[in-house]
Chains A and B, each alone.
Chain A
Amino acid sequence: MSAGNLFLPALGATGLVLSCAILLATANRDRQELATAEAAIVTSETRIEDFKSRVERLEGELEAARAEVADLRAAAEAGDEAPAEGEEVAALPETVTPVTPSTPGQGNVENGKKLFAECSGCHKIGAGAENGIGPHLNLLFGRKAASVTDFRYSDSLIRAASNGLEWHADTLSDYIEDPRTFASGTRMSYDGMKDAADRRDLLAFLRTYSDNPADIPEADPTAVGTDHTVDPEILTLVGDAEYGEYLSSECTTCHQASGGDDGIPSIVLWPEEDFVTAMHAYRDKVRPNQVMQLIAGRLSNEEIAALAAYFKDLEE
């Protein structure tokens, strides 16, 4: 940092020759800086162009979405005014995005790679993949439908995208199973892959070219989501406190076992029924809090009962 300053005292002693040399060097450096600055301007201009085209595209998408909303509103109003007997009332805006994107299991990447031969005539994937007859498939998972730059999509897919379609394992699986049922006007001329296990393997292969949750935690899941339905007799379950003790270790990462309360509430010494009710309310997403909804979301009724049985008597 201070190399330049240290240099100055020495300057007087070295005489005119060195001064000239330094002046020359300075001029050279200025020239270089000018060249660098000019290059930077060119780079910036290219970036501005990029952003402009992105803005244009997004405005187009916004416009399409607005038109869609207006249409649906009009249709809904018409339906409200005159709901003729037996006649189908205009559909409410339908969101295609699943609430909880989940994937159909792990799948066999090697087999998926072989199956990809059916797709590779039109779709490229991997380093440097570009659009061909179909869009490239890098970073596919979690991507908004019809969103690859410079690819001309069918109106059908653009419409689906404006309704919120995103590519996750479930939507992709449905699309690949029968493209024209999924989006009637799609340009993808493919009859569909009917075997669910094949689709799972193909998706496992495609998944390897998308973001990895280890690097980007918010990236799409790679496992099966657990399905939960609430049993009306949950309050009568007798909890296994020893299992509850093991499960509690997931809670004590945030909630202090001592009952201390510091930004995160205490969960010890609660009556079992209150504990169970609260956990089910998180599981059903009635109580807000993303972390708690997530944690409770994959606990079974027995596990919630086990936790309640453990925490009710916990004193450290």
Chain B
Amino acid sequence: MGLNRRTFIGSAVAATTLSAPMVRAAGHGKPRVVVVGGGAGGATAARYIAKDSEGAIDVTLIEPTRTYYTCFFSNLYIGGFKTIDDIGHSYGTLASEYGINVVHDWAIGVDRDAKTVTLAGGATVGYDKLILSPGIDFVDGAVPGWDLNAQNAMPHAYKAGSQSELLKAQLMAMPEGGTYCMVAPPNPFRCPPGPYERVSMVAHYLKANNPTAKILIADPKEKFSKQGLFEEGWANHYDGMIERVGPDFGGANVEVDPGAMTVSIDGEVTNVDVCNVIPAMQAGRIAEIAGVTDGNWAPVNAADMSTKADPDIYVLGDASQQGDMPKSGFSANSQAKVCANAVRGALTGSRVFPAKFSNTCWSLIETNDGVKVGATYEATEEKIAKVDGFISATGETAEVRKKTYEESEGWYTGITSDMFG
């Protein structure tokens, strides 16, 4: 992918020298904010800046997909609790009601001196402040035998949409008594409880449709988020179906063969029917292209999410390296609002308030069996630091778990309204 992308940039740059159309909203002279990535971080930041500046700032949102499928709740789609349409959202309201210039294209280059963003379609967009919220890409070679060319045979389904649909279709086509294997990612990765909610949802589907099927997890991590809650739930609802191989037994030493549909764990080769490979992650590629990453992620200042590398470029959500917040949609949305307040203040002189961050991750284990973990965070000199938190307890009553699930549904409506208007 890296090579193809680089070739692509070359040709795109050549094209722009011939005809360099500028995508600019009306009203030259107004400060310009460009947001790359229309997920929980980017859509929220764009909406808040446009809404609160009341037309004083030109906001451009660059997002390749016209329908955005949220990663959060995509496991519930796989489990059959949501339809794919339930988790799909358009950018229509952001354009029509908030006046945001929504451009469906890929950002492929950033010129920090000229303060422009280059798009795959050949256009360049100028900015005063640039907000990057590109989510994640996968680290090349993280799982030997797997690369993006293999994502049809062995889907990651860790960017929602067609990948989620593919994984679900493979699950439905699984032979009776077959094996679903998940190759879980190492830390840090998007949505810490995500792989384990995924396993719960796959188990829910299989229990009803293919009860003799097995689930095998190869996991490079000693521990994972909500482990006690998930393991309790798996024993209660899916006894004997799920086996997790941790690093003590070779869970970190995994190779796959997408042609033969085999997984090798510590040299032991197993035939599998569905293989959900979730490789190690890094910041979405545009952050690296912009030169604001250090290693796999983009270090940012906790007070306003500006990058350590460039005070006019901000990085939100999964791509940022900010400290204690988990990489989640809720975190990205929370960071976006702090960033929006700071960016607006810098461009228009509006009041800037102290940063406050929070996160809650809900997970569904089985019908009406919801659990959650949450925390509050503050900005310190060094990082975003965790202040306080909670986690659902093991052994909670069915009523409590049902309420927790209902709360997560309410949150979903809330956050998607907060993102897309």
Contacts and interface: CB of A to CB of B under 8 A. Distances in A.
A128 to B, nearest CB: 13
Question: Which of B268, B326, B392, B414 has most A Cβ within 10 Å?
Answer: B414
A97 interface: no
A225 B409 CA distance: 29
A257 B406 CA distance: 19
Nearest to A218: B391
A260 B409 CA distance: 13
Interface stretch (B117-125, B143-151, B282-290, B372-380): B372-380
Interface stretch (B107-115, B157-165, B356-364): B356-364
Interface in B384-421: 385-392, 406-411, 413-415, 417-418
Classify chain B: how many residues form its interface, as a range. 35 or more
A295 interface: yes
Given A262-B409, A294-B389, A253 B375 contact: no
Nearest to B405: A263
Contacts of A252: 414, 417-418
B333 A253 contact: yes
B388 A215 contact: no
A291 B374 contact: yes
A284 B123 CA distance: 55
B5 interface: no
> What does DSSP make chain A's interface, helix, strand, loop or mixed?
loop
A215 B192 contact: yes
A293 interface: yes
Nearest to B356: A250
Contacts of A243: 351, 353
Interface string A257-268: 110111110000
Given A215-B326, A216-B223, A295 B418 contact: no
A86 interface: no
A226 interface: yes
A294 B378 CA distance: 13
Interface in A1-60: 1, 3, 36, 43
A149 interface: no
A245 B408 CA distance: 24
A223 B380 contact: yes
A256 interface: yes
Contacts of B259: 3
A249 B48 contact: yes
Interface string A211-226: 1111111111111111
A163 interface: no
Contacts of A254: 407, 410-411, 414-415
A106 interface: yes
Given A263-B407, A298-B388, A217 B192 contact: yes
Contacts of B414: 252-256, 262, 264
Contacts of B223: 211, 216
B385 A106 contact: yes
A45 B338 CA distance: 53
B4 to A, nearest CB: 28
Contact of A290 (B324, B372, B406, B410): B372
Contacts of B382: 106
Contacts of B387: 102, 221, 223-226, 298
Contact of B374 (A245, A264, A294, A298): A294
A224 B387 CA distance: 6
A220 to B, nearest CB: 8
A242 interface: yes
A179 interface: no
Contacts of A43: 249
A290 B273 contact: no
A226 B385 CA distance: 12
Q: Which of B390, B392, B408 has the most CB of A within 10 A?
A: B390
A210 to B, nearest CB: 11
A253 B415 CA distance: 4
A100 interface: yes
Nearest to A252: B418
A261 B417 CA distance: 12
Interface string A184-228: 000000000000000000000000000111111111111111100
Interface string A279-313: 00000000000110111011000000000000000
A7 to B, nearest CB: 12
A89 interface: no
A295 B358 contact: yes
A146 to B, nearest CB: 20
A247 interface: yes
A2 B150 CA distance: 17
A214 B383 CA distance: 11
Interface in B307-351: 323-327, 330, 333-334, 337, 341, 351
A216 B192 contact: yes
B353 A291 contact: no
Contacts of A151: none
Given A217-B361, A256-B414, A298-B387, A250 B323 contact: no
Interface of A: 1, 3, 36, 43, 100, 102, 106, 211-226, 242-243, 245-247, 249-250, 252-258, 260-264, 290-291, 293-295, 297-298
22 contacts: A36-B268, A106-B380, A213-B324, A215-B192, A215-B225, A217-B359, A218-B226, A219-B386, A222-B323, A222-B324, A223-B380, A226-B387, A247-B356, A249-B341, A253-B334, A253-B418, A261-B410, A264-B413, A291-B407, A297-B388, A298-B376, A298-B388
Given A211-B223, A217-B361, A290-B390, 19 more contacts: A36-B268, A106-B380, A216-B192, A216-B223, A218-B225, A218-B391, A222-B323, A250-B337, A252-B414, A253-B358, A260-B413, A260-B417, A262-B409, A263-B410, A264-B413, A290-B374, A291-B360, A291-B372, A291-B374
Question: Which 7 residue pairs are nearest across A and B when measured between Cβ atoms?
Answer: A263-B410, A264-B410, A223-B385, A249-B337, A213-B324, A215-B187, A254-B414
